Chains A and B, each alone.
Chain A
Amino acid sequence: MRPLVPIPGPRRVLLGISFFVLFFAAWAAATFSGLVSPTFLADPVTMLMDGFTLITRFGFLGDIGITIWRVLGGFILAAIVAVPLGIAMGAYKPVEAFFEPFVSFARYLPASAFVPLLILWAGVGEVQKLLVIFIGSVFQIILMIAVTVGATRRDLVEAAVTLGAKPSGVVRRVLIPAAAPGIAEILRLVLGWAWTYVIVAELIGSSSGIGHMIIESQTLMATGQMIFGIIVIGMIGLVSDFLFKAINRVMFPWSLA
């Protein structure tokens, strides 16, 4: 192995898959051999069968659907607020000076700690779930976008103004397009974090969703179901990540080439 030398595509995929195989093999070895008691950790086969039961008999697909809806809903609301504000902060220094200290502070408020308060304010309905995701995502997106927009290459801005671009033109035709791939990347990253917030929101005061199923399974000591739920979240995360990357490739061919 030599540093930074790329490897061919097929081999990369093979290596990526082989760790998954190794992981499951280690898990199977630990459980089937009796090394770990089934009370604490179900074996992979039981996990899959539990998952099958969940889907066929307990309508788990509905739970998955509702969780996806919550994540996307809260995340999209956060993006609608955060993307324009982040761009404005990155582009205009007075706007940044006005919002940045508060947003930096708010960013460190743990979204999960808001759950009890939000239940008090918004009840245990959908609004509360969306708000948890919203609070967890919005400040992160704002700050990261502000930094990305603010870091636009100065020479591109100078080229634009010597071509007659006015201040609004610089924002619209240079800062935003230059930052667009970075913004898409930030959204991809924060969507991943939003998944952790939704589960926290569903663990407390919820009657549906993947998180609710996991907490229900705990009272039944059904580790197979719990693990199935966790793996489903991982799978959805992987798929959404893949989709995001594919969309970025289509939208920003110039940044790769």
Chain B
Amino acid sequence: MSKLVVEQVSRIFPGVAGGEPTRALEPTDLLVGDADFVTILGPSGCGKSTLLRIVGGLETPTTGRVLLDGRPVTGPGAERGMVFQSYTLFPWLTVADNIAFGLVEKGMPANERRSIVEEWIGQVGLKGFAHHYPKMLSGGMQQRTAIARALANEPKILLLDEPFGALDNQTRALMQELLLSVWEIHKKTVLFVTHDIEEAIFMGNRVAVMTARPGRIKSVTPVDLPHPRHYTMKTSPEFSALKAHLVEEIRAESIKVAEQVA
């Protein structure tokens, strides 16, 4: 049985001031297995974030349902950790206290929390920054903390909504490798939304491509690249072939978007 089941999930936003309702997401199916890393790739406005937010329980689907380990998702919860594109560290908490946020909510005693926090600070390469406030950190460091904060909570699935979208290219590449190395150790189930084709291939075991607005998943492409993955892989022939294939898939959708606007 799949770990995560997305079954005929759609989302229609009610019209504003008597306007037409917006169809953000067409009925969509997706199956994600345990320890799978699925990237969701789509043109802007295709509803990929909406889909992720529905899985996260932050939005309610208009139709369909989401099951995690066979149990329906009815709202947000600690079992589905999320990392957002915007910087969402709590600015009044230090790096260590941010990472401990979910653990405190669970009522974990302070000494247990401390060792988990220390472990995660090490894994995301933030040694020496435990007592810094988010304002003192660069964007990349903030997102590392956000990933550690989500994972320290031991969610069943990790949801990432364009987590590196606001970072510069170099930082972004480093963060991709960091997240992959963490995944290679912990083998979490991951759903990763992006509009960057290279990122989708490099990160994922499978790439789900979405159609233009109103979106739905139109194809799932397996990525048979071995782990551990190294950045040099991005220039390999296998990688290029996958990229060429996905460029075609996504290009057709981007053209549709452009025509809709015109």
Residues of A within 8 A of B (CB): 153, 155-156, 158-166, 169, 173-174, 177-178, 180, 252-255, 257
In the complex, which residues of chain B have a beta carbon less than 8 angstroms from the beta carbon of A159? 82, 84, 88-90, 146
Q: Does B91 interact with chain A (Cβ within 8 Å)? A: yes
Assembled-state Cα–Cα distance A153/B150 (Å): 19
27 contacts between A and B (CB under 8 A): A158-B58, A158-B76, A158-B82, A159-B90, A160-B90, A160-B101, A161-B57, A161-B75, A161-B76, A162-B78, A162-B80, A162-B150, A163-B101, A163-B149, A163-B150, A163-B153, A165-B102, A165-B105, A169-B105, A173-B104, A174-B90, A178-B91, A252-B92, A254-B133, A254-B135, A257-B135, A257-B136
Shortest Cβ distance from residue B197 to the other chain A in the assembled complex, whole angstroms: 26
Assembled-state Cα–Cα distance A254/B159 (Å): 28
Main secondary structure of the interface of A (DSSP, over half): helix
Q: Does B56 interact with chain A (Cβ within 8 Å)? A: yes
Shortest Cβ distance from residue A187 to the other chain B in the assembled complex, whole angstroms: 18
13 extra A-B contacts, CB within 8 A, seeds A156-B88, A160-B90, A162-B81 = A155-B86, A159-B90, A160-B101, A162-B82, A162-B150, A163-B78, A163-B81, A164-B77, A164-B78, A164-B153, A173-B105, A177-B93, A254-B92
Per the 8 Å Cβ criterion, residues 92-107 of B in contact with A are 92-93, 101-102, 104-106
In the complex, which residues of chain A have a beta carbon less than 8 angstroms from the beta carbon of B88? 153, 155-156, 158-159
Measured CB to CB, the nearest residue on chain B to A164 is: B78
Assembled-state Cα–Cα distance A254/B136 (Å): 9
Q: Given A177-B92, A254-B135, does the pair A162, B58 have CB atoms closer than 8 Å?
A: yes
Measured CB to CB, the nearest residue on chain A to B56 is: A162
Interface mask (B144-188 → A, CB under 8 Å = 1, otherwise 0): 001001100100000100000000000000000000000000000
Assembled-state Cα–Cα distance A20/B77 (Å): 58
Measured CB to CB, the nearest residue on chain B to A158 is: B58
Measured CB to CB, the nearest residue on chain B to A256 is: B135
Contact B133 A162 (CB under 8 A): no
In the complex, which residues of chain B have a beta carbon less than 8 angstroms from the beta carbon of A161? 57-58, 75-77
Shortest Cβ distance from residue A43 to the other chain B in the assembled complex, whole angstroms: 50
In the complex, which residues of chain A have a beta carbon less than 8 angstroms from the beta carbon of B91? 178, 254-255
Assembled-state Cα–Cα distance A11/B57 (Å): 54
Shortest Cβ distance from residue B191 to the other chain A in the assembled complex, whole angstroms: 13
Measured CB to CB, the nearest residue on chain A to B159 is: A162
Interface mask (B8-32 → A, CB under 8 Å = 1, otherwise 0): 0000000000000000000000000
In the complex, which residues of chain B have a beta carbon less than 8 angstroms from the beta carbon of A255? 91-92
Assembled-state Cα–Cα distance A257/B137 (Å): 11
Interface mask (B206-223 → A, CB under 8 Å = 1, otherwise 0): 000000000000000000
Assembled-state Cα–Cα distance A177/B58 (Å): 22
Shortest Cβ distance from residue B192 to the other chain A in the assembled complex, whole angstroms: 15
